[in-house]
Amino acid sequence: MSARFGRVGVVGGGRMGAGIAEVCARAGLDTVLCETDGAAARRARARVTRSLERAVERGRTDRAAAEDALARLVLTDDLDGLADRQLVVEAVVEDLETKTRVFGALDKIVEDPAAVLASNASSIPVMRLGMATRRADRVLGLHFFNPVPVMPLVEVVTSLHTSAEATALAEEFATTALGKTAIRSRDRAGFVVNALLIPYLLAAVRMAESGFASATDVDEGMELGCAHPMGPLRLADLIGLDTVAAIAQSLYDEFKEPLYAPPPLLRRMVEAGLLGRKSGRGFHRYDRD
């Protein structure tokens, strides 16, 4: 356990936020998860509970450890409940205005000036979030991957203002406290993983959009022909097509490279609410969680 970050807060209880809160609680950390209202907080607890149940069923943890983790998790619908946190990870929707508003509020609420404020942003520059606070040297990115309890990687993203101390503490938290592998990235849209991944996913969308191959054939081609564990369109569905589109738009806005531009089909599917696994339908159909 990281003694420096014994008290952790998470803002946002969707798939990513709930997953981050779960791994923190399972690591023995005092964890507070903040959602917008009581109903959303209850849904977030239900996500964590289901995930822990699956971990028990699959032998990744035992019943006692799962119950202990759930007991360490506190749900709140008030950001003031994060005032005493030593680390807060923001995991709200991939939208600059929303994230900036959260960081501005956290800057006023979190009492410890040495606390680290981190974002799970997939593509939004950390600098913009840091400049919404009076402590840009304590702001960085901690980008987890879905599903958080299973995926071993965390990207540690530093802005021009992030201090070496905050960076070292965040990396130690990810590796020592959570048992993840950390890689460092400079503060540019997409960081390391999504800058490589998103053009691949968009190429698959364009292939399906053009009628060159069906979604199933595109996925099976990469799974069976290239030994990928999941085809690109199934992976896009898992990530969430709204998130894929938002990351692509951030990449395009920064670099103006055509390969980063969200294809029309992707934009239309997002407008239609066909977001992938979380909505029950994307390029494939799913049972709703």
CATH of the domain at 266: 1.10.1040.10
Mean of all residue pLDDT scores within the chain: 96
**Residue 161 belongs to some domain of the structure:** yes
Residue 65 sits in the same domain as residue 172: yes
Residue 142 sits in the same domain as residue 212: no
The answer to whether the beta carbons of residues 243 and 252 sit under 8 Å apart is: no
Residue 16 sits in the same domain as residue 148: yes
Q: Tell me how crowded residue 234 is: count the other CB atoms within 10 A of its CB.
A: 25
* 83 burial type by CB count under 10 A (0-12 exposed, 13-18 middle, 19+ buried): middle
Q: Domain of residue 209: give its range.
A: 193-279
pTM for this model (two decimals): 0.91
Name the percent of the chain lying above pLDDT 70: 99
Q: How large is the average pLDDT for residues 260-277?
A: 98
pLDDT at 175 over 90: yes
Residue 63 sits in the same domain as residue 178: yes
pLDDT at 1 over 90: no
pLDDT at 48 over 60: yes
Locate tokens 């040297």: which residue? 137
Residue 222 sits in the same domain as residue 101: no
Residue 130 sits in the same domain as residue 229: no
Residue 147 sits in the same domain as residue 29: yes
Number of domains making up the chain:
2
4 — pLDDT class (breaks 50, 70, 90): confident
pLDDT at 3 over 70: no
Last residue of one domain, picked from the residues 132, 155, 186: 186
pLDDT at 2 over 50: no
Nearest to 9 by CA among 146, 106, 122, 151: 106
Q: Can you tell me the distance from the alpha carbon of 58 to that of 125, in angstroms, rounded to the nearest whole number?
A: 37
**Residue 1 belongs to some domain of the structure:** no
Q: How large is the average pLDDT for residues 22-37?
A: 97
Residue 134 sits in the same domain as residue 168: yes
Q: Can you tell me the distance from the alpha carbon of 156 to that of 187, in angstroms, rounded to the nearest whole number?
A: 10
Q: What is the pLDDT of residue 289?
A: 58
pLDDT at 79 over 70: yes
Residue 216 sits in the same domain as residue 177: no
DSSP label at residue 123: S
pLDDT at 195 over 70: yes
Residue 173 sits in the same domain as residue 214: no
Evaluated on CA atoms 252, 199, 179, 230, the torsion sign reads: positive
Residue 148 sits in the same domain as residue 198: no
Beta strands in 94-191 (DSSP E): 116-119, 139-144, 153-158, 181-186
* Residue/partner pairs of 223-231 with CB below 8 Å, 24 or more apart: 231/204
Residue 84 sits in the same domain as residue 203: no
Q: Which residues are catalytic?
A: 122, 143, 155, 194
